[in-house]
Amino acid sequence: MDDCLFCRIVAGRIPARKVFEDDEILAFHDINPARPVHLLVIPKRHITSLATVSDADTAVLGRMLAVANRLATEQGSPDGFRVIINTGRIGHQEVQHLHAHIVGGPEPVGPMLKRI
Ligand code: 5GP
Ligand code: ZN
């Protein structure tokens, strides 16, 4: 997946401010944070989007959420956070490698869902 931005980050060919890494998961700061805490949690293995996952991916998906919870607390959003997984054209997914945005901070995030 030479042409995938997040695969390049996984491979260390593009720098990122990593906050967590293990065999199957990588988490790093979003380069353009929308809130004081804005992390991206990704599977190291290339999965294009939530629209392409199968039952074989449930373990890594579950781990992404468990890591998200721990990192939000550690990184400055201990009183809750928002998880966003933009998916496909309708979901405005810009990077075609599955990623969960973890957004939060000391103050509540916007009432996003009320505007949809
Ligand atoms: P999407 O719209 O696909 O859900 O979000 C992609 C996210 O990736 C955006 O929030 C954008 O700021 C972030 N992003 C794009 N390029 C880079 C990069 O090179 N490094 C990091 N850390 N984040 C990036
Ligand atoms: Zn990729």
Q: How far is CA 114 from the centre of its chain?
A: 22
Give me the pLDDT at residue 2, please: 76
pTM confidence score: 0.96
Class in CATH terms, 5-104:
alpha beta
Residue 33 CA to ligand 1 center (angstroms) comes to 9
What average pLDDT does the segment 27-40 reach?
97
Segments making up each domain of the chain, as ranges: 5-104
d(CA 59, CA 41): 14
Question: To test the ligand 1 pocket, which listed residue (3, 9, 31, 101) has its Cβ within 8 A of the most ligand atoms?
Answer: 31
Q: Which amino acid is at 82?
A: R
Q: Which residues are catalytic?
A: 99
At 112, the pLDDT band (50, 70, 90 cuts) reads confident
Residue 98 CB less than 6 A away from ligand 1:
no
Question: To test the ligand 1 pocket, which listed residue (17, 37, 94) has its Cβ within 8 A of the most ligand atoms?
Answer: 94
What are the C-alpha distances in Å from 91 to residues 32, 33, 41, 52, 110? 18, 18, 17, 14, 18
Place of tokens 């190291």: 44
What average pLDDT does the segment 46-56 reach?
97
Question: What are the tokens at 74?
Answer: 């550690």
